[in-house]
Structure 1
Amino acid sequence: MKTGCVARFRASRDGATAVEFALLAVPLLLVVFAAAEFGRAFWSRNALHEIAISAARCMGVKETACAPGGSYSATKTVERVQALAARRGLTIPAAGIALNPSATCTGIAGFSQVTLTYTFRTSVPLVFTPLAQGVALTGTACFPNQS
C-alpha cells in the first residue's frame, strides 16, 4: 500500500505548472524591473539634456526668464532650471546646476553653457542594491550668445 502511494505521487503531474511558474517568476520579474529602471534612467538623462538645452538657450538669447530687463541673472536661470525639472518630476539642487554665460564650446568662444547633475535613485532599492545609493547623471548644452 505504501509503495502504491509513492508511485502515484511520483506519477502525478498536478501542480507542475505552479512549480514551473514559481521557478521562473523571480527571474522574469527581475528582467521586467530592470527594463523599467533602465528606461527611467534613460528618460531622466534625456530630460536633463533637454532642460540644459532650454536653459542654455534662455541664457544665450537673454529671454526674460533668465535675463529680466535684458541683463543675465544666474539666480533666475537656476530658478528656471529647477522649474523645468520639477515639471518633469526631477529635483535638481542648486549645487547640481553649473552655469557659464561666457563659455568656450568645441573651441569657439561666446557660448552660454549649462551643465546639470542629477542623482538617479532606483524605485526598487531592495532589488537593485547597487543603484540604491544613486547614480550621477549629467546633461550639458551650449548655445551661442546673441548680442
Structure 2
Amino acid sequence: MEFALLSVPLLLMLLGVVEFGRMYWTQHVLEEIANAGARCIGVLQSGCTKNGAYDSANTISYISGRAAIGGIPLTSANIVVNNNTSCSGLTGFSSVQVTYTFVTMLPSFLSSLANGPHLSASACFPNQGA
C-alpha cells in the first residue's frame, strides 16, 4: 500500500529529472552548433563557402546538418548568420544565433514544459585574416 502511494510521485519526479536532463543536453548541443557555425564562417571552411567565398545558404545548411546529427530539427527560421559583425565592441567577427523550442516527450504530465521553453545559443568567431 505504501509503495502504491509513493510510486506515482516518485515516477513523476524521475520523469521530470529525465526531461530536465534532455533539455539541458539540447541547450548544450545548440551552443556547440552555434560555435561550430561561427568557426565555419570565420575560417571559411568548405561547408560554409561557395567557390571559396562565404555563402549564407551553405552555412545554414551546414548548421542545420550539425543539429540533425545531435537530434535537433532546425530550419532556416531558427538560424541567423552574419559574416561581418561586431562582438563585445570589436569588429571583424562572424556570428551565429540559433533558437529552438524544446518539446517534451511527456507534455500531459509535465505541464510546465508542455509548450516548450525557448532555448537559444549564440557564438562569435574572428574572421580569417581579421
TM tier relative to shorter chain: over 0.9
Larger CA Rg, structure 1 vs 2: 1
In the TM superposition, what is the alpha-carbon distance from 1:70 to its structure 2 partner? 1.7
Percent identity between the two aligned chains? 43
- Report the equivalent of 2:109: 127
Question: Pick from 9, 26, 34: which aligns with 1:52?
Answer: 34
**1:79 maps onto 2:61 in alignment:** yes
Q: CA RMSD in A?
A: 0.8
**Which digits, 9 at most, give the CA deviation of each residue in 1:1-60, with x for residues without a partner?**
xxxxxxxxxxxxxxxxxx100110011011101110110000000000000000000000
Whole-angstrom distance in 1 between the partners of 2:103 and 2:21:
13
Mind listing any 5+ residue stretches in structure 1 that lack a counterpart? Answer: 1-18
- Report the equivalent of 2:86: 104
In the TM superposition, what is the alpha-carbon distance from 1:130 to its structure 2 partner? 2.4
Q: Which has the higher helix share?
A: 1
**Which digits, 9 at most, give the CA deviation of each residue in 1:40-99, with x for residues without a partner?**
000000000000000000000011110122210000001001100110110111111011
Number of corresponding residues: 129
Q: TM-score, normalised by structure 2?
A: 0.96
Mind listing any 5+ residue stretches in structure 2 that lack a counterpart? Answer: none
Whole-angstrom distance in 2 between the partners of 1:70 and 1:106:
28
User: Equivalences for 1:1-147 in 2 at 5 Å?
Assistant: 19-147=1-129
Whole-angstrom distance in 2 between the partners of 1:25 and 1:75:
51
In the TM superposition, what is the alpha-carbon distance from 1:135 to its structure 2 partner? 1.2
Whole-angstrom distance in 1 between the partners of 2:102 and 2:85:
27
Runs of 4+ in 1 over 3 A off after TM superposition: none
Whole-angstrom distance in 1 between the partners of 2:121 and 2:74:
12
